[in-house]
Structure 1
Amino acid sequence: MTINTGAPRTQRPIRARRHDPAMQPMIVIWEATRACQLACRHCRAEAAPGRSIFELTTDEATKLMEEVLSFGKPAPIFIISGGDCFERDDLYEIAKRGVDMGLHVAVSPSGTDKLDRTSLKKLQDVGVNVISLSLDGSTRASHDGFRRIPGTYDNTIAGWEAARELGMKVQLNTVVARHNVLELPAIAQTVRDLGVLTWSGFLLVPTGRGVDLGALTAEETEDVLNVFYDMGETVPVKTTEGHHFRRVSIQRHVLAEAGADHVAIMNLGPLYTTLRADAEARGLLAGERRRRPPINVSSGNGFVFVNHVGQVTPSGFLDVPAGNVRDSSIVDLYRDSELFTGIRRPDLLEGKCGACEYNTVCGGSRSRAYNSTGNIFAEEPMCVYEPGSFPYADEVKELFAANSPSRG
């Protein structure tokens, strides 16, 4: 099978961070509560119907946001998540305080009946203009079956449409696992039709309720990441916990420049063939948008998570706390703790990740490595690539040099 997708539209297959990730994260996510009316099959937080009495208070959340500002300018993006953040009565007050002090605040609610135009307008009125929603199936049956509450699909679509009507920006998240992998082109079609800021494919991490959900094999993951790349000129796709998408983007860019057959060279399999054919039939391969290059941000390396009781971890899927904001500064924990400084060191990576020539731009999912093996530095279990096997090594080195932070 020979497919040539032509020369890439962008000269940047990845985006380099402009600020030192050892000093300043790009994103801070605060899990405001674990209360949620859904019972999703993958839930990292194992959310419960009611709120915990140990959650950060309104004033503690305010202090946290003040500390986030002290990382420096530009301030990190501050995302209020859950559970379902709409379960907190003080959500609007907290969001307003954050916006008023100069933070870029975004909100990630669940697809319940609380997600409506009225609630979104109240968020907009206090200065929140970006929300993140989840769509994990292309139909009511598949999405509601995954979320385990009828009506979730309709609530999500209605909330999405209301946000767009209000002029808010929407990021859409989709869990990628065995139950829905064949639906990805259909979900992408919905993304194209309704419009989003970004569409993020979340590669399942075996934690919380998602331990037995059914992750893909490494070979299947490679097929999915390549289809994501194929659809990148039609929908603004990125990945969560799929850091090897950066390696795929670099390799596909080089292969397109060389006019080489990516299917043969990257040894793509039958899942790729099936998904690509479906994407092509839906008109998802011939868009006019510039491809969205993935950015080199990962757990503890440009990204930090604060849970509902104040524990600071590299990611919501990597439940190893460095400390608690109730008695430590999030700035000090991020910059100086052994956990965070260690996770930013590629030389500590083991197995294939330690030997891989892409480990400074990828590094693998530390969350998936830890939850699969108990070792934060173990190799990424869902990556098929063998270090040193890509035949265009010199071209890759040139791209690395061109995309270094010193080059902007």
Structure 2
Amino acid sequence: MESKESHEEIETDKMIRTFENIINNGLSQKLLNSALNYCDKCQKSHLESALDYYLGKQDEICTTCKITYKLIQKIIKKSLETFDTSEEALIETMQNPVWERGLLSTFKGMSRFKVRKPFTPGAPYQIVWNITRACNFNCIHCYENAGQKDEDELTTQEIHETIDLLADIGVVSLAFSGGEPSIHPDILEFIKHASDRGLFVSMASNGYVFNTYEKAKQFKDAGLEFVQLSLDGLNPETHDSFRNVKGSWNRVIEAIKNFQKAGVYTGISTTVTKRNKDEIPDMIKFLNDLNVDWFMLYNFIPTGKGSKIKDIDLNPQERRELLELIYKANVDTDMNIMSTAPQFADVAVNNDTDNQMVPTHFYNVNYVNPAMKQLSEFIGGCGAGRFYMSIEPNGDIYPCVFFPHNKDVLLGNVKDKNIEDIWINHPLLKEFRSKDILKDHCGSCESKYICGGCRARAYNYFQDILSPDPGCIRNQDAWNKLETK
């Protein structure tokens, strides 16, 4: 006899297939494509006008935009039915301009790439921008080989022009990184400019310069909404040994408190290795007691300075145990605990607890409706070149910050002002977005759509973006080959 859960999954699958058919049919695609065109009467694209009208932000639109509105209304209605969400809740959420930008990019993705597994938005949801190579630390695992400022870094004017371009093409979130972004002399004006253009602005920092509330408040006032502070151990000895700056642990704890007081959403990032993995359980409790909002456990990637310390990488079993630990810890803490390891989604889907959660690169989605579980096949997995891209200090564009600066993974440069064309048409990104062409077990794995492995780890270990991620327990053979080298 068919179980209730099995029946629900079958019905959900039918609804999702219906949803795909509505959007991917020829007429809908023609209407969605034409919706991207600019409307002279409404002074924005047909799609933007239709969404604003639907959300109650615009009282009247032209007849042509109303045709788009009818399609948008139908798609949204079917989405709400599939995922058991109320229209009132959606409209309330979308009053936030950042969320509306995300919805707009989602519709653009339906037009440009259709609804497929995994899903690709019409523009990057996020750009991670290494704004400078200059850094006041000397971390042993730095992916960027940071230290001194490069001579060919973009000028202040070029950076402002690029911020405008990112806003114009529909990027939702801009994350400043480095190097150490806080020591760039013009970082506050970059943050303000991006915020004024409607981007959600975040920053990754070692926290060293934020030992006063006034400094943190400066960044909050400029428009910084989220800060990710690096903390690589429960105690000063562990953390400072990674960072090579004595006293850095104490400074980052001060930074946490100062950003919280300033009203900035505060997260912690930890690169997990053999040297600090045993401290993670106590770090979870420690950070939860500090009222940290968000704890991201980063995969170790053997790139940059990290290429010299591959021996501290977790083996597949250690990584799996870590991911299972943090999955269960999400139930017991108020923090959102995440991981950049795509295998986290596989752990979530195959868990045997009452906690139902879909991990993504940006948030852990808790759910009751089984449709949300199936949604993970569209939004889960490695986001490199699919949800985000990265920009280097000189303007070079890569699929992800964790790729070495090799020509075969270089996508272009912001000075050419063709970021949107790169996102839509670059042949390398088409490979990043297809899980069906992955090699070895990653390509045949039943979890390939929700996981697919980390492409940066595959490339840095095997010089091939389609190779298996050796961090997965199902790729033990790949890991064994590395150990015998």
TM-score (norm 1): 0.78
Asked whether the equivalents of residues 318 and 367 of structure 1 are also in contact (C-alpha less than 8 Å), the reply is yes
Once the two structures are superposed, residues 53-108 of structure 1 have per-residue CA deviations (whole angstroms, 9 ceiling, x without a partner) of 21112221112222222333xx4210111110122110011111111121111122
Name the amino acid aligned to 2:198: G
- Give matches, 1:9-408, under 5 Å: 19=106, 20=109, 21-48=120-147, 50-72=148-170, 75-113=171-209, 116-211=212-307, 212-213=309-310, 214-233=312-331, 234=333, 235-240=335-340, 242-252=341-351, 255-256=352-353, 296=380, 298-319=383-404, 320-385=409-474
Once the two structures are superposed, residues 263-319 of structure 1 have per-residue CA deviations (whole angstroms, 9 ceiling, x without a partner) of xxxxxxxxxxxxxxxxxxxxxxxxxx9859986251111011111111111111123
- How has the CA–CA distance of structure 1 residues 43 and 345 changed in structure 2, closer, same or farther, with 3 Å as cutoff? same
Look up the match of 1:275: none
Asked whether the equivalents of residues 469 and 475 of structure 2 are also in contact (C-alpha less than 8 Å), the reply is no
Q: Percent identity?
A: 28
Once the two structures are superposed, residues 159-215 of structure 1 have per-residue CA deviations (whole angstroms, 9 ceiling, x without a partner) of 000011111101210111000000001111122011223211001011111121510
- How has the CA–CA distance of structure 1 residues 359 and 115 changed in structure 2, closer, same or farther, with 3 Å as cutoff? farther
Which secondary structure state, in structure 2, belongs to the residue aligned with residue 125 of structure 1? helix
Asked whether the equivalents of residues 30 and 79 of structure 1 are also in contact (C-alpha less than 8 Å), the reply is yes
User: How far apart are the structure 1 equivalents of 2:412 and 2:346?
Assistant: 32
User: How far apart are the structure 1 equivalents of 2:177 and 2:423?
Assistant: 19
User: Which 5+ residue runs of structure 1 have no aligned equivalent?
Assistant: 1-10, 259-288, 388-408
User: Following superposition, which runs of at least 4 residues in structure 1 exceed 6 angstroms of deviation?
Assistant: none
User: How far apart are the structure 1 equivalents of 2:216 and 2:325?
Assistant: 33
Which secondary structure state, in structure 2, belongs to the residue aligned with residue 219 of structure 1? helix
- How has the CA–CA distance of structure 1 residues 386 and 156 changed in structure 2, closer, same or farther, with 3 Å as cutoff? closer
Which secondary structure state, in structure 2, belongs to the residue aligned with residue 195 of structure 1? coil
- How has the CA–CA distance of structure 1 residues 197 and 25 changed in structure 2, closer, same or farther, with 3 Å as cutoff? farther
Which secondary structure state, in structure 1, belongs to the residue aligned with residue 194 of structure 2? helix
User: How far apart are the structure 2 equivalents of 1:248 and 1:102?
Assistant: 35
Name the amino acid aligned to 1:325: V
User: How far apart are the structure 2 equivalents of 1:257 and 1:164?
Assistant: 32
Superposition RMSD on alpha carbons, in Å?
A: 2.5
User: How far apart are the structure 2 equivalents of 1:115 and 1:302?
Assistant: 33
TM-score (norm 2): 0.66
Name the amino acid aligned to 1:312: I
- Bigger mean CA offset, 89-98 vs 364-373: 89-98
Larger Rg belongs to: 2
User: How far apart are the structure 2 equivalents of 1:330 and 1:99?
Assistant: 20
More helix by share: 2
Which secondary structure state, in structure 2, belongs to the residue aligned with residue 316 of structure 1? coil
Superposition deviation, residue 257 in structure 1: 6.2
Which secondary structure state, in structure 2, belongs to the residue aligned with residue 298 of structure 1? coil
Superposition deviation, residue 114 in structure 1: 5.1
Q: Which has the higher contact order (CA 8 A, sep 6+)?
A: 1
Name the amino acid aligned to 2:181: C
- Bigger mean CA offset, 119-128 vs 143-152: 119-128
